[in-house]
C-alpha cells in the first residue's frame, strides 16, 4: 500500500526498477504536484477564508490557487460581482462610493471597489481553491495520496520517464494519470450539482 511520502518514493523506484534515485524521485513528485494543481478541481480543494479589509486589496491565503466567490459578510451576505480590470477602470472613473460591489484580479491580487477605509472596514469571506498540500519528509501524507495514490504514482512515473528520455512509456503514465484525474473531477462535479433528477423548466408563452 502507498500511504505515505516515503512509501510513494519507494514505489516509484520499484516501478522504475532503478536504484540510487533518492535525489531525483522527490523532484518527480514535485513536478507531478505542479500538474495536479493545474488540473485537479476536487471538493477537497475548496476552502474558506475570512478577513477584515480596510483598503482596495483583499489578502489571499498562502495556499490560494484560484477564486470561486467573494462576498461581504453581514446579516445578509453581499456577493461581489466579477468585472474585468478594464471594466473596473471605467467604474472607478465614475467615482462611485459606498459599499464595495465589484472585484477583479490585478497582478494576482483581489481588488475590490469601492475601497473600504480604515474608518469603515468590512468583513470579507472568500471561497477559493487551495493548493494540494505538498508532500515532503515532514508532511508524509495529504488527502490526495490517502484517497487516490494511483494519481500520485502515475503522475510521478510520467515525470520520471521524461527524465530518462523514455518517450515510449511517457504517454502510458500520462494517460493513466489524466484518466484518473478526469474521473476525480467528474466525481467532484457530480457532488456539487447533486444526484437528483433534472426537472425541466416550462416557459409561459404570452
- Segment 70-88, tens digit of pLDDT: 999 998 999 999 999 999 9
Q: Helices H, strands E: what count in the chain?
A: 6, 8
Contact 99, 118 (CB under 8 A): no
Per-residue confidence (pLDDT) for residue 194, from 0 to 100: 66
The pLDDT value given to residue 201:
45
User: Which of 6, 35, 44 has its CA nearest to residue 173?
Assistant: 35
* Grid cell listed for 178: 489524466
Peptide bond into 59 cis (omega under 30): no
* Angle, alpha carbons 174-133-62 (nearest 5°): 125
pLDDT at 195: 54
Please state the φ and ψ torsions of residue 12, each to the nearest 5 degrees: -60, -45
Rg (alpha carbons) of the chain, rounded to whole number:
22
Instruction: Please identify every stretch of the chain with a pLDDT value under 70, giving residue numbers as ranges.
Output: 194-206
CB count within 10 Å of CB 150 equals 13
State how far the Cα of 69 lies from the Cα of 48, in Å rounded to an integer. Answer: 10
Please tell me the predicted confidence (pLDDT) of residue 193.
76
Q: Which residue has the cell 472607478?
A: 92
- Cβ count near 134 (within 10 Å): 15
Residue 203, pLDDT score: 43
Distance of CA 198 to the CA centre of its chain: 28
- Contact (CB, 8 A) for 115 and 55: yes
Amino acid at each position: 500500500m502507498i500511504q505515505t511520502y516515503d512509501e510513494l518514493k519507494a514505489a516509484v523506484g520499484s516501478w522504475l526498477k532503478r536504484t540510487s534515485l533518492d535525489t531525483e524521485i522527490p523532484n518527480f513528485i514535485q513536478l507531478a504536484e505542479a500538474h495536479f494543481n493545474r488540473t485537479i478541481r476536487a471538493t477537497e480543494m475548496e476552502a474558506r477564508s475570512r478577513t477584515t479589509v480596510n483598503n482596495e486589496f483583499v489578502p489571499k491565503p498562502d495556499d490560494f490557487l484560484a477564486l470561486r466567490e467573494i462576498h461581504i459578510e453581514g446579516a445578509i451576505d453581499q456577493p461581489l460581482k466579477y468585472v474585468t480590470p478594464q471594466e473596473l477602470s471605467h467604474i472607478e472613473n465614475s467615482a462611485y462610493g459606498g459599499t464595495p460591489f465589484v472585484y477583479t484580479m490585478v497582478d494576482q491580487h483581489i481588488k475590490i471597489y469601492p475601497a473600504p477605509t480604515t474608518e469603515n472596514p468590512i468583513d470579507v469571506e472568500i471561497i477559493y481553491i487551495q493548493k494540494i498540500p505538498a508532500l515532503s519528509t515532514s508532511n508524509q501524507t495529504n488527502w490526495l495520496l490517502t484517497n487516490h495514490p494511483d494519481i500520485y504514482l502515475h503522475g510521478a512515473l510520467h515525470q520520471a520517464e521524461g527524465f530518462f528520455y523514455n518517450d515510449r512509456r511517457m504517454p502510458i503514465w500520462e494517460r493513466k494519470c489524466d484518466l484518473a484525474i478526469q474521473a476525480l473531477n467528474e466525481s467532484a462535479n457530480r457532488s456539487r450539482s447533486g444526484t437528483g433528477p433534472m426537472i425541466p423548466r416550462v416557459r409561459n408563452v404570452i
